[in-house]
Structure 1
Amino acid sequence: MDTGHQNRGGWITFPFIIASTAALSLAAGGWMYNLMVYLIQEFHIKSIDAALIFNLVNGCTSLIPVVAAIVADSFLGCYAVVWIFSVISVLGIKFLYLISSLHCLRPQPCQELESLCKSPTNLQFTALYTGIILASIGTGGVRSTITTMGADQFVKPKDQQVYFDWYFVATSLVSVIAATAMVYIEDNLSWATGFGLSVAANLFGLLIFLLGTRFYYRPKLDKSPFTDIAHVIVATIRKWNVPSSSKSEEYYCGHDAKMKKMKAEPTKSFRFLNRAALITNGNVDLEGSNADPWTTCTVSQVEELKTLIKIFPIWLSNILLGTAIGVQSSLSILQSLTMDRGITHHFKIPAASVLVFVLISTAISLTIFDRFLMPACKKLFSLTLSPLQRIGTGHILIVISMAISAVVETKRRNAAESGNLLERSMVVPMSVFWLVPQLAITGIGNAFQFPGQINLFYQEFPASLKSMSTALNHLVIAISFFMSSALMDLVRKVTNWLPDNINNGRLQNVYWMLVLIGLINFCYYLVCACLYKYHNVDKVEEKSCHE
């Protein structure tokens, strides 16, 4: 263990990281959760177009973490990336606050007839997208790096798993606040007040994070880990015609103490990559130093690339799962706009707040799973769920949620038809609470799938790529939201399922299509999970390496 890790890190850093994560998540949720409604009501954008923008923004805030992770792993480290992108986030949300405060930066309110709504000017669109872009970059840049930084504070995998679970509990609970209190303030008081609170939360999170600076463990960056990947690929291509060998002494393991403890002979999987570690004439000097890293790599570098390749099919299976969740999220908000959201005569649930049921379900499920269910199963039956089993359970639950969504939407449309509302975008006589079961099951699925996915990637990835391991989870979400936007746009163009007036649409067909896609994807995942073997370096037999 690194001596620096003995003096820094550990549970003393947990309050600072969790508090800053919670505040920054509150700031992000304050402007993101109600964005679709904001675009429809304040910028007069059509509902399906607003849903597409909403998905694109969610995709971008999940794509930026990959770039941030590369910067963190290669150049700046997680600590610097977190505070830099937190500042960018403050600037973006501040921009949105100014837009909501200054009348000249947004179009005039609609008249009684919808046809009298004025479209935003080029200046207003520019201001809007500038704020959204800056806020998205800042929010996305913090997401993966602060997660990785929190996990880096712990040495034991058990502590890391506990951190990941409580990280999701904290972010889920804060997201509940953002999706209820913040959204309610924006809908009933003013958008400026809501965005202003987001600015304050962002500044508070940044301050708390900086206060814990002296306690954080920050791994030293020796070189870019992506350079090693490039070395292996180039060396393999340059030695493509060199025959492989079964003799361990013909493979290069490096000259430092750590590399000499590696297994001498590379594994048999993806044998073509083993050529990169073969020692050929003139590539390694008498002292065992590598003369040309672009020609001869270490066994360790080859095995790290193999680990990434092996886990890629499992990573790929999560994209279609996330696509279904993205479509459900945007359509649920549109459905809620046409349903009875009243709780009392004077209070009704904001449309964007329906997603809070996903967050509540996720937080409760994670708490029960981590504190009660798993300890009980382990004590009574000596049973624990592996990360792959948790991910698979999440797949099943999400498919069930899509099926329930289809049934509920059929009932909602029948209610619209019986009320002669098919040609009008009006509220149907059906409570919004009919959406709760499907959203709650999605939340339970998230409680199984996402922590299992993050834990699997963090556990299996090489130490030099830990930030990228968590960033790839966000990349899944990014691609999923992009695909959900593309899927909805494609369905809108080739079918009549998604008109601007969803009362006259066929949303249930979209959900049944997602059920079919989910079942096919789950079968693919089962094949990948059965073929995957965990990479546990602690069980690798240590042998002397060639010098």
Structure 2
Amino acid sequence: MLLYKWFFSLTLSAKIFAAMERSLSIDVEASPQHNHGGWITFPFFIATMASLTLAAAGWNNNIIVYLIQKFNIKSIDAAQIGNILSGCINLFPIVAAVVADSFLGSFSVIVISSSLSLLGLILLTLTAILDQLKPPSCETGSPFCQNPSKAQLTILYTSLALASLGAAGTRFTLATMGADQFNNPSHQGVFFNWHFFMFYAGTLVSVVGIIYVEDNVSWGVGFGLCVATNLLGLVIFVFGKRYYRLLKPQGSPFTGLACVMVAAFRKRKVLLSLKKEDYFHELKDDGRKREGTTPSKNFKFLNHAALLTDGDTAPNGTITKPWNLCTTQQVEDLKTLIRISPLWSTGILLCTPIAIQMSLIVLQALAMDRHIGSHFQIPAGSMIVFVMLTACIALVVIDRFLIPICQNLIGRSPTPLQRIGLGHVFTASSMAISAVVESRRLDAARTHKLGGNLVAPMSVLWLVPQLVAVGVAEAFHFTGQVELYYQEFPKSLKSTAAAMVAVFIGVAFYLGTVVVDLVRKTTGWLPNEINDGRMDNVYWVLSVIGVVNFGYYLVCARLYKYQNVLTTNT
């Protein structure tokens, strides 16, 4: 349902054409006999990604419509459930990454996650097929519709929870494990491009194809296709195990960051030194200390964590008390995260309006004329296609035209902060456009005295301009976010930099549910019968939030100093 659930695929899709050209001339990367990996693994990962994406996008992008039409759940409540599921899918990849790095390894996490999603989809399909697992059918919006029983809701929510956790567990773990199969960084880059291209293509096919089957043929058949593609992806992935390079878990880098906070607190009363030899530096492979400097003066309290005291190290220079001493590099890594956290926080309020908007658009589409011609009707859950297509086109324009023009005119490309700023502008503009369109839709409904959720005589294509604005916004700010965090995050956290973007997206979904609940309790703008409400006022509030957050972002961007990018932060 929401494009930026699949944000990373769009982040890299602008580079797909170059990747295709390069991939045609790549020499096969040799794989040592006892150390598998290389291009022989490529078809397995790409096919697995395509299959699992078809399965996940096929149910998640249309779940609001399913809840309304088959479980008689009120429209706003269904949108709230959709937000919670999307939040789960975007928050749990970081959990899966930590588990894979620290305990189980990527292969086990992917197998377990795809098995969970398969079980969840089987249960979801059964709810569509078996009458005992859902309430009696009735006309959508009728006051005589029977609510689902507790047992029916339990099975439904269990299926959705399993499917969501499974989709979240494979999203970034599959990409990371695939990149681990290659030694050459350029080969890794080609793999990432193809991987996320399949991620994007699978989502698009699913939104257009599977959702059409669900809306026009049968929910059971549509969900059954999701089960089949999920099973196919799991089988393909497991079948290729003998070719994979399986890396052992190395421990999570977040443990070292936590160690800094614990050690700094324990040594808070020890006086800091100005001598670099009084601080513990990272050891070389041969056990000797690396030459370093004293920790930076910013956030001086954390410098206590690297300060050497009696008993901290053994005669050979190793740490004897791991939670009492850290390296200066670990201290600086944590400081980097603290410095960038204000910018990271602006992403939450940037994505929250979009999260709310994408859920409400499904409800608007259901109350508008979705016919194109006399025979075809656009599925409400497929409106996201306009965002996806716009974002893809905008990414190509940015990569192929905007960046070269800027390089020719001013000698450099737009900085990540500048791209994110443009994303803020387009997002706020999209909210304002949404408010104007919804006001027009309400006028049309009231002119014809249409209450409840009855279809207003207004084409659903009126929603396209705001979706185009969202697509352009995402093309700017998601590429900027990923590039900024990948460049600025500590080396030990490079693999989780993109996942940190997913974290604030997940937080935005949950915050969006809170905002909608608050609006429902304090105003009459969002009743279950949207024709009797004032959804346009909600969009105006979101527009104001976007403008205020943009101001906060400008302050943060002005104060931030790039650590690893040789350019100015204007």
**Contact persistence 1:148–1:470 (CA under 8 A):** no
| Aligned twin of 2:24 | none
Shift of 1:13: 5.3
Shift of 1:14: 5.2
Shift of 1:150: 4.4
- Residues 14 and 522 of structure 1: is their aligned pair in 2 closer, same or farther, counting only changes over 3 Å? farther
CA distance in 2, matches of 1:165, 1:374: 19
- Residues 356 and 112 of structure 1: is their aligned pair in 2 closer, same or farther, counting only changes over 3 Å? closer
Alignment of 1:273-422 (within 5 A): 273-375=302-404, 377-378=406-407, 382-421=411-450
Other structure's SS at 1:290 match: coil
Shift of 1:264: 3.0
Pair 1:122 & 2:154 matched: no
**Contact persistence 1:79–1:218 (CA under 8 A):** yes
- Residues 11 and 380 of structure 1: is their aligned pair in 2 closer, same or farther, counting only changes over 3 Å? farther
| Aligned twin of 2:502 | 474
Other structure's SS at 1:295 match: coil
**Contact persistence 1:285–1:291 (CA under 8 A):** yes
| Aligned twin of 1:543 | none
Give a deviation string over 1:492-529, Cα, whole Å, max 9, x none. 11111111111121111111111111111112222222
**Contact persistence 1:232–1:302 (CA under 8 A):** yes
Shift of 1:221: 3.0
**Contact persistence 1:168–1:451 (CA under 8 A):** no
Aligned residues: 534
CA distance in 2, matches of 1:111, 1:414: 25
| The one of 53, 60, 66 aligned to 2:88 | 60
Return the letter of the residue paired with 1:279: L
Shift of 1:182: 1.1
- Residues 8 and 361 of structure 1: is their aligned pair in 2 closer, same or farther, counting only changes over 3 Å? farther
CA distance in 1, matches of 2:174, 2:406: 31
Other structure's SS at 1:429 match: strand
Give a deviation string over 1:295-351, Cα, whole Å, max 9, x none. 221112212222222222222111111111111101101111111111021111111
Pair 1:31 & 2:70 matched: no
Give a deviation string over 1:431-489, Cα, whole Å, max 9, x none. 10010011111112112222332333333334443453333222212111111111111
Other structure's SS at 1:257 match: coil
Shift of 1:42: 0.3
CA distance in 2, matches of 1:454, 1:253: 30
CA distance in 2, matches of 1:180, 1:484: 26
Pair 1:146 & 2:189 matched: no
Pair 1:209 & 2:237 matched: yes
Shift of 1:130: 1.2
Pair 1:102 & 2:167 matched: no
CA distance in 1, matches of 2:153, 2:304: 54
- Residues 387 and 210 of structure 1: is their aligned pair in 2 closer, same or farther, counting only changes over 3 Å? farther
Other structure's SS at 1:245 match: coil
| The one of 61, 66, 69 aligned to 1:41 | 69
Other structure's SS at 1:288 match: coil
| Aligned twin of 2:296 | 267
CA distance in 2, matches of 1:81, 1:92: 16
- Residues 353 and 113 of structure 1: is their aligned pair in 2 closer, same or farther, counting only changes over 3 Å? closer
| The one of 249, 252, 277 aligned to 1:224 | 252
- Residues 96 and 262 of structure 1: is their aligned pair in 2 closer, same or farther, counting only changes over 3 Å? farther
**Contact persistence 2:452–2:530 (CA under 8 A):** no
Return the letter of the residue paired with 1:318: G
The percentage of counterpart residues that share the same residue type is 51
| Aligned twin of 2:78 | 50
**Contact persistence 2:444–2:457 (CA under 8 A):** yes
| Aligned twin of 2:544 | 516
**Contact persistence 2:406–2:414 (CA under 8 A):** no
Q: Which runs of 5+ in 1 are unaligned?
A: 539-547
Return the letter of the residue paired with 1:233: M
Normalised by the size of structure 2, how large is the TM-score? 0.86
CA distance in 2, matches of 1:537, 1:248: 26
| Aligned twin of 1:427 | 455
> RMSD between aligned alpha carbons?
2.8
**Contact persistence 2:284–2:290 (CA under 8 A):** no
CA distance in 1, matches of 2:504, 2:357: 16
| Aligned twin of 1:541 | none
**Contact persistence 2:487–2:565 (CA under 8 A):** no
Normalised by the size of structure 1, how large is the TM-score? 0.90
